[in-house]
Amino acid sequence: MSKIVLGSTPKKITKDLSFPLLDGTVGKIEVDFIYRTRKAFAEFIDDHLVKMRAESTAAIEALKAKVADGDDSAASVVTEAELTLTTLDGQADFIMASVSGWNLDVKFDRDAVEQLVDEVPQAATAIIQSYRAAMTEGRLGN
């Protein structure tokens, strides 16, 4: 057992994650989480939510403007593709701000993270949920 030292926090926490894939196999990824204290994590979440709310409000205002201009056609309705893109973008933002690296054969960058959240949604969910648990509960288990 290690004696704790207050004020000596890690820069990162490496975590092995596993999750079910659509073909019935288990996917695995090792990620390096950016360490945040509980207070810093709460601020991180608040900032993330403020950004998401601002983007949602802007989209709603743009839709209202179209309707006010007389465009009440189906083209002014938010599409499934737009909703999905917004969700994927939010997940990629969260992962880019909470992970500093991984063990995949591709470089950890925005393009690769966007590809991951699009192609392997279970991985994105596992990363986000595991990060939240680690930062709020001090738990690194799956």
Q: What is the pLDDT of residue 52?
A: 82
Residue 80 pLDDT grade (very low, low, confident, very high; cuts 50, 70, 90): confident
* CA–CA dist 16, 25 (Å, integer): 16
pLDDT tens, position by position, 5-61: 888 888 999 999 999 998 999 999 999 999 999 999 999 999 988 888 887 787 777
Candidates 30, 32, 21, 27; CA nearest to 96 is 32
Residues 130 and 142 sit within 8 Å (Cβ to Cβ): yes
**Contacts for 102 with CB less than 8 Å, ≥ 6 apart:** 29, 30, 31, 32, 108
Cβ-count burial 18-52 (b if 16+ within 10 Å, e if not): ebeeeeeeeeebebbbbebeeeebeebeeeeeeee
User: What's the pTM?
Assistant: 0.81
Alpha helices for 33-79 (secondary structure H): 38-68
Can you spell out the DSSP letters for 76-88? GSPPHHHHHHHHH
Helix axes 121-137, 38-68, angle to 10 degrees: 130
